[in-house]
């Protein structure tokens, strides 16, 4: 059998994630894999993601490489995927998810609540900014971009006092020892799909679609399907101040899906926060229904409203 070409972004985190998937393919499918690095718009630009359009800036180049035959399949951070299907592309598998929570890396081993009023916290995520502001801790929020190493270095050199990152990325890079606090979802709901990986290939490659489907984790697929249904129904991009987290839990009558979501104003002063449960097989409907309830409470207007105070948490 020929070697499969796996398209990946070139960052340390992306190649690590793609390497994990490559190992799964070798172990479970018995196929050899080579990584092919693809440069994306999100990697080339230093502009804030919201200014670049947010959704899809890390994805389009990889999909182009798939469609023109340069690679056979690609791995993305699932939270980067647009919710609208791409013609000719199949989401073949969503492997088991890493812990989806956010994590703090702060100076002197401090937790979020231990940071003094006026401390500088770096994050480039409107979702994190809004939820941090809602906590009312008196922190100064600074927009930053860059890879994991770049962001943590800003703490080490004193440019900021703390940063908030996805715990999953730190786990995959073997850097959990630098985490000073893992944030409870009651404090900060993660981005829809955070901690999960997406494996895509050409929809016409039916044999490969079927083979890669063996890497799918049903519980993870159900959870992210519900979360992304919230995202899609609210018509929010990956840069919107929206958090969502679904989990498959054991209920009285077997497994059920528990979903919670929050939409916030940019300054965190206003929010619509809701939760619901339902059958795992109805993940998409559960997400759509919850988002519909949030829309009825003004969630869309909330996320589009201009800030009404300075950007302090």
Domain end residue (candidates: 182, 208, 242): 182
User: Per-residue confidence at 31, pLDDT binned at 50, 70, 90?
Assistant: very high
Q: Are residues 76 and 11 in the same domain?
A: yes
Confidence check: pLDDT of 300 > 90 = no
More confident position, 231 or 237: 231
Give me the catalytic one of 43, 72, 80, 99.
Answer: 80
Q: Are residues 80 and 146 in the same domain?
A: no
Cβ 282 vs Cβ 145: under 8 Å = no
Q: Are residues 117 and 260 in the same domain?
A: no
Cβ 311 vs Cβ 132: under 8 Å = no
- Which secondary structure element, helix H or strand E, spans residue 120, and what is its range? strand 120-122
Q: Are residues 207 and 237 in the same domain?
A: no
Give the range of the structural domain holding residue 261, as residue numbers without chain letter: 224-304
Rounded CA separation 139/313 (Å) = 5
Rounded CA separation 276/290 (Å) = 7
Rounded CA separation 167/107 (Å) = 17
Give the pairing of strands 33-37 and 4-8.
parallel
184 counts as catalytic: no
Q: Are residues 53 and 88 in the same domain?
A: yes
The CATH number linked to 50 is 3.40.190.10
Q: What percent of the chain has pLDDT over 90?
A: 80
Between the two ends of the chain, the Cα-to-Cα distance in Å is 55
Task: Give me Rg for the CA atoms of the chain.
Answer: 19
User: Per-residue confidence at 238, pLDDT binned at 50, 70, 90?
Assistant: low
pLDDT digits (tens, 9 = 90+) for 130-152: 999 999 999 999 999 889 999 99
């Amino acid at each position: 059998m020929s070697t499969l070409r796996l398209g990946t972004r070139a960052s340390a985190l992306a190649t690590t994630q793609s390497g994990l998937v490559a190992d799964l393919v070798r172990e479970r499918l018995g196929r050899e894999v080579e990584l092919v690095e693809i440069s994306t718009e999100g990697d080339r630009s230093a502009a804030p993601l919201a200014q670049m359009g947010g959704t899809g800036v890390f994805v389009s180049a990889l999909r182009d490489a798939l469609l023109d035959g340069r690679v056979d399949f690609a791995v993305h951070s699932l939270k980067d995927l647009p919710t609208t299907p791409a013609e000719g592309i199949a989401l073949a598998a969503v492997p088991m998810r890493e812990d989806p929570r956010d994590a703090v890396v702060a100076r002197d081993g401090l937790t979020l609540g231990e940071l003094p009023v006026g401390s500088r916290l770096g994050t480039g995520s409107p979702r994190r900014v809004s939820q941090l502001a809602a906590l009312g801790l008196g922190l100064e929020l600074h927009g930053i971009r860059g890879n994991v190493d770049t962001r943590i270095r800003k703490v080490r050199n004193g440019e900021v006092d703390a940063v908030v990152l996805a715990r999953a990325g730190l786990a995959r890079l073997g850097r959990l020892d630098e985490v000073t606090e893992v944030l409870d979802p009651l404090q900060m709901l993660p981005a829809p799909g955070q901690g999960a990986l997406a494996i895509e290939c050409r929809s016409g490659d039916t044999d490969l679609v079927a083979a890669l489907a063996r890497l799918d984790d049903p519980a993870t697929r159900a959870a992210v399907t519900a979360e992304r249904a919230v995202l899609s129904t609210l018509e929010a991009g990956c840069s919107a101040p929206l958090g969502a987290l679904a989990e498959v839990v054991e209920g009285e009558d077997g497994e059920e899906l528990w979903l919670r979501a929050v939409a916030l104003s940019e300054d965190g002063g206003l929010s619509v926060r809701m939760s619901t449960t339902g059958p795992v097989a109805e993940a998409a409907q559960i997400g759509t229904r919850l988002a519909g309830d949030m829309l009825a409470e003004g969630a869309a207007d909330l996320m589009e409203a201009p800030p009404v105070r300075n950007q302090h948490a």
